[in-house]
Amino acid sequence: MVRTRETAISLGMAIGLMLLLTAFAIQAVLPGPVVAATDRLPNLRMLSLRDWHIQDAGGRRLLRFTTIMANEGPGAFEVRGLRPDTDTEQMRIWQVIYDGSGDRRRVRTGAIGRYSGDGHDHWHVQRIMTYELYKVDNPATVRGGAKTGFCFLDTTAWRLGLPHARQHPYYQESWCGTRKTLSTRVGISVGWGDRYPWDFAYQWIDITGLQPGRYVVRSTVDIANWYRETDNYDNCRWARIRIPSSGTRVKVLESGGGCGRAAITPAKTFPGAVEWDPMRRIVMQPGTYTGYTFNALGTELRTRTHTKGRGSGADTVRRARVPGREGRWFYVKSGTWDGYWLRDTSRVDLEPEE
């Protein structure tokens, strides 16, 4: 058979087309590259403070208000509490993180859980929300809220149009456990909030003895920055209020957000601090010590406790009075408590200069 140039070209084109179709068929059959599922982290928010009341209680004046902690998504905010036996009085707290494939993993946090404490027969995650009050022109007057433990769940539908939002409540109060419980599971679904009414136990700030005038009330979720979320700096709401000299009426002057960065950032100094350059040395006697980090208002963020079996020391760069705290405090720059504040006591003191 004689093949002309045109015949050869047609045959080549046909073979090329067959190879191309075969390649497409093989590509369709072979699995694609494995793509890791993306974490769907929560985004914790505080909604506007509301329902303001002043209550007279046995000679004390209590400022009460309602708070709502919410989750803007895109993933659920869920934590698990675990303890090995009923003799252990605290639970360790783990955050559960879900991904787009439905898988989940647990991440250890610095938070703890405690039983009851406010008359409720269940376990509470400690310090998930923090309340602060201070005078508009004097932040050193800060006072903290009384409530420290929270059993959070889906109580309030907020933004059910968000992606991955549940249309019905999921997390339940019964999951907060009882006295004999060894594990708990609490959380807030995407688009939902947990409401703490003004008349709940310990839902107040003690304002006994405060002068009438203008004050700021600030409420922050996850002030210690223990939990992973999409945005750590939108966790706060504030209100400027006027506290009267008598009566129960509170006037709200202004409200807003945007204070999260200031609320959760550890302070390295405070007004009136004594600075040392070069650094001084502090001497510590044997014993157990707790170091603290504070925000600019003196609100506790994190703690670190350690026991020294013998005398030791550390470097310090300053000593200051922390707003709302008794005594004076050293800012430590070496060793176990690097970046933490230790209180100046008879057991923690400056090493004499030569």
The model's pLDDT over 126-139, given as tens digits with 9 standing for 90+, comes to 999 999 999 999 88
| pLDDT given at position 17 | 45
In contact, 187 and 76? CB cutoff 8 Å: yes
Mean pLDDT of the chain: 89
Question: Average pLDDT, stretch 59-73?
Answer: 96
The band of 28, judged by pLDDT with boundaries at 50, 70 and 90, is: very low
pLDDT in tens, 257-294: 988 788 999 999 999 999 999 999 999 999 999 999 99
Higher pLDDT, 59 or 63: 63
Residue 153 has pLDDT above 50, yes or no: yes
For residue 212, count CB atoms less than 10 angstroms from its CB and return exposed for 0-12, middle for 13-18, buried for 19 or more. exposed
| pLDDT given at position 121 | 80
Residue 236 has pLDDT above 90, yes or no: yes
Residue 42 has pLDDT above 70, yes or no: yes
Q: How many helices (H) and strands (E) does the chain have?
A: 2, 25
Which residues, 6+ apart, have CB-to-CB distance to 338 below 8 Å?
314, 332
> Whose CA is closest to 242, among 164, 133, 154?
133
Q: Which residues pair with 39 in a beta bridge?
A: 99
The band of 117, judged by pLDDT with boundaries at 50, 70 and 90, is: low
Domain ranges of the chain: 44-262, 274-350
| pLDDT given at position 36 | 57
Asked if the peptide bond before residue 169 counts as cis, ω within 30 degrees of 0, the response is no
Question: Average pLDDT, stretch 329-354?
Answer: 93
Q: Is the dihedral of CA 216, 235, 94, 169 positive or negative?
A: positive
| pLDDT given at position 18 | 52
Question: Average pLDDT, stretch 160-187?
Answer: 96
Cα–Cα distance between 134 and 132 in angstroms, integer?
A: 7
